[in-house]
Each structure stands twice: as structure tokens, then as C-alpha cells.
Structure 1
Amino acid sequence: MGRALLILAFVLLPAPSFSQAAATHTVEVLDLQLAMRAALRAIEVCNEAGFQAGASVVDRFGVEQVTLRNNMGGALVAEAARRKAQTAASFNQPTATLEPQEAGGGDAGLGAIPGVVPLGGGLPIVTASGALLGGIGVAGGGGSENEAKCAKAGLDAIADQLK
């Protein structure tokens, strides 16, 4: 009976290595002022290049923090910028890296997932230690390559605060 009790205790009581994970998690959140500064700088750089762009910053979960649009930006630039930012945050990689996967076309690519924009112009926002804070996206900036440059300028504007 002693042995049966020992086996029962082993089965019913979790061992330390099998214990449950923490019930909560702590995450870092990008300050709203920094999000606005990054989005504004991205638009300024696109404006300097002659484009009327939109820029958006989302948190690590894809929730919009700020979206700005040039006064003359098209009706869809803000939405496209937000979706690029969400895509960059969701995949934690530049959206331009997702483009080649779409080259084959068809419904099997990432573009078939609602809300995913596998086009350049979206970048993840990470701390110097590598913690994901969110994403920045730019649209209406003259194509994927230039939009990525504008997004990078936005990140560069806040890089010192992310250390």
C-alpha cells in the first residue's frame, strides 16, 4: 500500500519540471510619443521624395497606436500602411521578405490570409535587446522599396530611445 500511495502521489502531484507556465506575461509597450515621432518621420521622408504617403505604427499584437496620412494621400494609404505594420509585427520580419513567397501566385500564399500584406514597406519595431514592440508600415510612397526606406527613417528617428 505504501508503494501504491507513492505512485499515486507521483501521478497526482506535478513535478517541478512539469509545473504550469506563468499565468501572466509582461510585455514592453512602445510609448505613444515615440510611435507618433516614427510615423511622422516616415511621412516626412516620403514627402521629401515627392510622395503623399501614410504611415502607421501598431503594437506587438497588431493594435493600432497611430496612423498618419499626408493631406494629399489617397483614400487607402492609411489602411494599407496599418496592414503592413500589422503584418510586420505579426511575422516579426520586414514585409519585403514575404514578397518572394507570393511570386508563384495562387490562393496558397500569405496574401490569402485576411489582413496580411506581403509587400515591402512594413518593418518590425524591436528593442536593442530584441524584444518585439510592434510594427511600422508605410504606403503610398512610390513602391515597396521606397516605402521601406521611409519606414526605416521612422525607426531611425526613435532608435536612441529603443536602446
Structure 2
Amino acid sequence: MNKLSRRARIVTGSAALAAVGMGAFGAVAVAAPEDAKPAPQPAAVKADVKTPDTFQTDHLTIDAASKAAQATLDAAKKANQRVSVAVVDRNGNTIVTLRGDGAGPQSYDAAQKKAFTAVSWNAPTSTLVQRLPQNPTLKDIPGTLFLGGGAPVTAKGGPIAAIGVAGAPSGDQDEQFAQAGVASLNQ
């Protein structure tokens, strides 16, 4: 008969010990009294907070954001302009971005920043540009871009989204296209 190596004996012994242990556990589990029931779990706590310390906000659906972005891009295309369009939610998070054929590489990021800026102050970015002489540090806020081309989307008097456009020769044109996207949501 061949002798097993020390390693083989250790592995075999460990496996046998584990098997014996599992058998003992099974025997204990089977031998448990029938009247021993598991402790009842507490019912799930329903968190339905209704206090003056909470509020709800409206948001655009992805379908509405896509519709607005496409209407914006269509308005720019009709004017023979190559632009990028960004639609952001109330928190400035991008919902959808479309980069038109031939739009410049800078337009993608600029459109997002214009939309973020418009929703942050619930104002068209062209209006915000006019405020810079009195508040020059506004432009130092990260993620903002104070150039025409951002338009807020409102519901019940408050901002719920914004559309930013970049790539046309002027911010006025960018903003005109963004307003076309906002208008498409009312149709």
C-alpha cells in the first residue's frame, strides 16, 4: 500500500473533519423540537413622511427631454447652423445631449454648461450675462458658462430643467434655438 504524503493526509483529514461537522450540524437541526419556531421578524417600517420639512419637484421625462432636444436641433438645422444641445434636469444632471452633424468639439461641453447655468438661476443665460458687471464672481462658479444659449424650462413657476445650445456664431442664435426646444414642450 502506498503512503500518502503529509499534504495529502492533511487535506484528507480536513475533508473528513468537515464532513463529520456537517453531519453533526444536520443531526442537531433535525433533532430541534417542533415547537421551536424562528423568532418573528418585525414588520417592515413604512416611511410615509408628511411634514412641512419635505417637498416634491417635477422633472422632465426622457421622452420630453428628447423631444425638446430634437426640436432644438431641428430649429438650428433649419437655420443652417451646426450645434450641440443639452437638456439637464432640475439638479443640473444631463438627461440628453445631441451633437448635430458638423458641430464643433467645444460645443458639446459648452451646451451642458449653458443648460446648467440656466437651470441654476432659472433665467436665460443672456439675462445672466447682463448681471456679470455687478456680480463678476458669478462666472467663477464651477460648471457654469455665462454666454447666451441657455433657457430654463419651468413648471408651476419653478425650474424643472433647462436646454443649452452651443455652436452657432452668436449666443443670441443659440438661445433662440434653445427657446424653440422649450416651446416644443408646450405643444
* TM-score, length-scaled by structure 1: 0.78
Alignment partner, residue 143 of structure 1: 170
Q: In the TM superposition, what is the alpha-carbon distance from 1:27 to its structure 2 partner?
A: 1.1
- Count of residue pairs brought into register by the alignment: 137
Name the SS of the counterpart of 2:179 in structure 1.
helix
CA displacement 1:60-87 (0-9 Å, x = unmatched): 0000000101121111111110110000
* TM-score, length-scaled by structure 2: 0.68
C-alpha change, 1:131 and 1:108, in structure 2 (3 Å) is: closer
**Residue number among 92, 97, 109 corresponding to 1:62 in the alignment:** 92
Alignment of 1:7-26 (within 5 A): 21-22=52-53, 24-26=54-56
Alignment partner, residue 131 of structure 1: 158
Percent identity between the aligned chains? 34
RMSD: 1.8
Alignment of 1:34-113 (within 5 A): 34-103=64-133, 108-113=136-141
Name the SS of the counterpart of 2:123 in structure 1.
coil
Q: Gaps spanning 5+ residues in structure 2: where?
A: 1-50
Asked whether the equivalents of residues 101 and 109 of structure 1 are also in contact (C-alpha less than 8 Å), the reply is no
- Which structure has the larger Rg over C-alpha atoms? 2
Bigger relative contact order (CA 8 A; separation at least 6):
1
Distance 1:103 1:69 in 2: 32
Q: In the TM superposition, what is the alpha-carbon distance from 1:103 to its structure 2 partner?
A: 4.7
